Amino acid sequence: MSDREKTFVDDIDRELYDFRFDSTDSYRLESGLTEEIVRQLSKEKNDPGWMLELRLKALDIYNKTKMVEWGPDISGLDMDKIDTYVRSNTTMKGKWSEVPEEIKETFERLGIPQAERESLAGVGAQYDSELVYHNIREDVKKLGVVYTDLESAMHGEYEQMIKDHFMKLVPPTDHKFAALHGAVWSGGSFVYVPKGVKVEIPLQSYFRLNAPGAGQFEHTLIILDEGADLHFIEGCSAPKYNVANLHAGCVELFVGKNAKLRYSTIENWSKNMYNLNTKRAICDEGGKIEWVSGSFGSHVSYLYPMSILNGKGSSCEFTGITFAGKGQNLDTGLKVVHNAPETSSVVSTRSISKSGGISTFRSAVTIMPAAKKSRSTVSCQSLMVDDISRSDTIPAMDIRTPDADVGHEATIGRISDDAVFYMMSRGISEEDARAMIVSGFAENVSKELPLEYAVEMNNLIRLEMKGSIG
Amino acid sequence: MQMDNGMITVNNLPAPTWEKLKVNRAAVSVCTDYKEASMVCKAGDDPAVTDDAGTIESFSAIKTGMGDEVSSLFGRLQSEGKVSPRLLTASGKTVLKIEGKGAESLAGRLLIDVPEGKKATVIMDISGAAGVLQTLVRSGKDSDLELIQVIRSSEDKDLLNDIGSEGSEGSAFKLVQVFMPEKSIYAGCKALLSGRGSRYEAYIGYDLDGSDVLDMNYHAVHTGKDTESMMNASGALSGRSEKTFRGTIDFIRGAKRAVGNETEDVLILDEGVINKTVPLILCEEEDVEGNHGASIGMPDEETLFYLMSRGISREEALAVLRRSKISNAVMNISDEEYRNEIMGLIYDRD
């Protein structure tokens, strides 16, 4: 049996996202990570005393915590060369017309103001280390929904609520980069949805990292009260530089009794980015968390949204796709802990590897003794587009009660020659056929996203798949 | 060999994950005073002690499921003259009995050479054993080996049971293991499928109760084209037993048209059980097909109801389901007489 011939498909420029503006006017703290830098940052942000204390403790934990011995190599990340705080010469605005021209143009090109006008209840736009724009529709505000930058909220009537929740779900001791985040976090949003309130249209935060050699450490804190309902969308991008950038954000989601939160992310960082993000949700009785996750960017990613099902009948759904192309090592997945009776989790993920990219699906499903009559199903499918890439599946299940039902399945394979041939016989080029098959493979995620984001995701897939054929 | 206070590390997960899960490896104690395991042949040719350096060296290069520290332990024991590897040139049917007594720790190394074109069955009946046993298999071109191990360990000490195999072109290696521990068993098998068209099947059955521990690591490495692997583990956990199953299908670049499948089916019967399942697929070759599936949980109520509607008690119905899980492996023993003997053992445990 002879080996098959391959079709070589180039990657093309990501011009839509790969634009940048001069950042020399920005204010920056000196590179590196020292107590002095953390104190200076805290002073810049006018932190209350408890926050400074948290930062310093987190720095101490960071210095004492070893790096993990699994996962992609991050030896190319030198914290001494990362600027942990970069701020443009502007304050946060409530109208796009007041945002400085270059920054406004950035977000215009990314389609954020247009999306806000057409289909969002509120937007937070972060540029490097600070929010530059934040707005919420009046009708949503009147429902009692709070959507504001975290730092303002910390100095106002929500200070105690924030203090009670901030880094309680993801403590600095969780891992080394959670500790780093605790020390140098800046920017991000606070959302509170009152009891029984359903926010019909999504809120969105968009994170843009413009400065070379900078880090972004935004913190998103969302609290849904009993019976509340919200869809929150997160997007991100950055221009590509020859130096490393770092993203070590943190997302903490508290889903109250019978509340429902959908958290959608299209991650499109540039391919010099180290994306070491931490996301975690905890659900009370009857609460539901839905994760929709598309990972397309970054040089290296460690990303495992975690759901703690802590109340009877709480549930989690996770739908995700990861596309690892040339020069990328994306280690993504999820963790679920069932810690109460009658909880359920349903996971459906896809991963694609191409042009030497490395994609790893990593998961942990834990069923504690208290999780009687709980159910979990995990389905993971991996597609390899060529034989210079890599795809690994590393799931783990830890089951500690007989009264649970757990199923797991995974497959790995390649694009079917038969499917490509069939489409070509209908007049479609081989390049288009392969792109369509991969888009279809990602359909589990695209159908969960609002149309505009599904279109963006499919465009990203086409960007990765199409090019000259040799 | 790293030996820290008499401890070695075994069953290393080929691609480690979160340390908090405690599945990346197992630490086991080893003793300094091993007695050579006798392998009494009940049928077929005796495995003879070999001191041929070339043979020992070529077999010693075979990587095993439990890892290099076990092989290093044997290297040390051999150099101290405490263990002599036994060579079995497999042909036809061979039945070996390895029996432990009391608290003695045994060490035994069996080298199985399956000549080109030969078909063989090797049955290892291991009972009351504690210590460390290693079986290294080299399968010649177009050979066919069925290795059956029925393992009932000692009540007093742990048993380490390690296997490594290399398959030449067109060879087939079928492993059937039935674990009925009395204390703790650490087991592993690594099968290297380097020959074109070579095949590996592993059927693992277990029945744990009390405070039994079964820690496993199975690794099928595909380097040759058109190779196939199938790993199936099925068992039941009662009492406060603890089981870790690591199963890895590993497609190395160049292993075109390789196919790997892995399934695990676990029945959990009591509170206090700990079940850990870690099924990996590692892949750097596009033109392959890999699948794994796992199903873990309690007995299906409809099935129980059906059995009880036939007039048997709930306890007996649960026992039927429990026995069926371990029997899934036993059913793959081709020797009918021995298969019936093992089924008898399984029933006798109740």
- pLDDT tens digits, residue range B233-279? 999 999 999 999 999 999 999 999 999 999 999 999 999 999 999 99
Angle CA A154–A158–A163, to nearest 5: 65
Contact B296 A1 (CB under 8 A): no
Cβ B144 vs Cβ B172: under 8 Å: yes
Backbone angles phi, psi at B327, to 5 degrees: -70, -25
Does the structure show a pLDDT above 70 at A13? no
Per CB-CB distance under 8 Å, the chain B contacts of A387 are 253, 284-287
Question: Rounded to an integer, what distance in angstroms lies between the CA atom of residue A470 and that of residue B107?
Answer: 59
Question: Rounded to an integer, what distance in angstroms lies between the CA atom of residue A21 and that of residue A256?
Answer: 42
Contact B275 A397 (CB under 8 A): yes
B257–A contact, CB cutoff 8 A: yes
Is residue B35 situated within a structural domain? yes
User: Which pLDDT band holds residue A350 (cuts at 50, 70, 90)?
Assistant: very high
CA-nearest residue to A358 within chain B is B284
Cβ B282 vs Cβ B252: under 8 Å: no
User: Which pLDDT band holds residue A23 (cuts at 50, 70, 90)?
Assistant: low
At A452, the amino acid letter reads: E
A414–B contact, CB cutoff 8 A: yes
What pTM does this model have? 0.92
pLDDT of residue B302: 87
Does the structure show a pLDDT above 90 at B183? no
User: Which pLDDT band holds residue A108 (cuts at 50, 70, 90)?
Assistant: confident
Does the structure show a pLDDT above 50 at A244? yes
User: Which pLDDT band holds residue A469 (cuts at 50, 70, 90)?
Assistant: very low
CA-nearest residue to B294 within chain A is A408
The dihedral over CA atoms of A112, A114, A115, A120, expressed in degrees to the nearest 10, equals 110
Average pLDDT of span A37-57: 94
Q: What value does the mean pLDDT of chain A take?
A: 89
Per CB-CB distance under 8 Å, the chain B contacts of A404 are 268, 296-298
- In this structure, the strands spanning A146-149 and A189-193 are antiparallel
Does the structure show a pLDDT above 50 at A14? yes
A388 compared with B103, residue with greater pLDDT: A388
Q: What are the pLDDT digits (tens) for B50-69?
A: 888 888 889 999 999 999 99
Gap from B164 CA to chain A (nearest CA, Å) = 23
Does the structure show a pLDDT above 80 at A457? no
Facing residue for A402 by CB, picked from B273, B277, B282: B273
Contact B293 A398 (CB under 8 A): no
Question: Rounded to an integer, what distance in angstroms lies between the CA atom of residue A360 and that of residue A301?
Answer: 10
Contacts 24+ apart (CB under 8 A), A446-453: A448/A264, A448/A290, A448/A292, A448/A319, A449/A264, A449/A266, A449/A292, A449/A294, A450/A119, A450/A202, A450/A233, A450/A264, A452/A111, A452/A115, A452/A118, A452/A119, A453/A233, A453/A235, A453/A264, A453/A266
Question: Rounded to an integer, what distance in angstroms lies between the CA atom of residue B218 and that of residue B263?
Answer: 12
Least confident of A19-28, B97-106, B320-329, B330-339: A19-28
B280–A contact, CB cutoff 8 A: yes
pLDDT of residue A24: 58
Cβ A126 vs Cβ A208: under 8 Å: yes
Question: Rounded to an integer, what distance in angstroms lies between the CA atom of residue B26 and that of residue B186?
Answer: 9
Cβ A114 vs Cβ A105: under 8 Å: no
Per CB-CB distance under 8 Å, the chain A contacts of B276 are 396-399
Give the residue from A345, A376, A370 showing the smallest Cα distance to B295. A376
Domain spans, chain A: 27-427, 428-470
Domain count, chain B: 1
B300–A contact, CB cutoff 8 A: no
A431–B contact, CB cutoff 8 A: no
Contact A404 B289 (CB under 8 A): no
pLDDT of residue A16: 63
Per CB-CB distance under 8 Å, the chain B contacts of A362 are 17-18
Q: Residue B39 has which token pair? A: 């392998």
Q: Residue B231 has which token pair? A: 């790993």
User: Which pLDDT band holds residue A4 (cuts at 50, 70, 90)?
Assistant: very low
Does the structure show a pLDDT above 90 at A439? no
Is residue B333 situated within a structural domain? no
User: Which pLDDT band holds residue A7 (cuts at 50, 70, 90)?
Assistant: very low
β-sheet bridge partners, residue B280: B248
Q: What are the pLDDT digits (tens) for B184-230?
A: 999 999 999 999 999 999 999 999 999 999 999 999 999 999 999 99
Average pLDDT of span A440-453: 78
A3–B contact, CB cutoff 8 A: yes
Q: What are the pLDDT digits (tens) for B16-52?
A: 999 999 999 999 999 888 988 888 888 777 788 888 8
Chain B interface disruption, residue of A399, A409, A411, A416, most B CBs within 10 A: A399
Does the structure show a pLDDT above 70 at B70? yes
Cβ B51 vs Cβ A103: under 8 Å: no
Question: Rounded to an integer, what distance in angstroms lies between the CA atom of residue A214 and that of residue A272?
Answer: 11
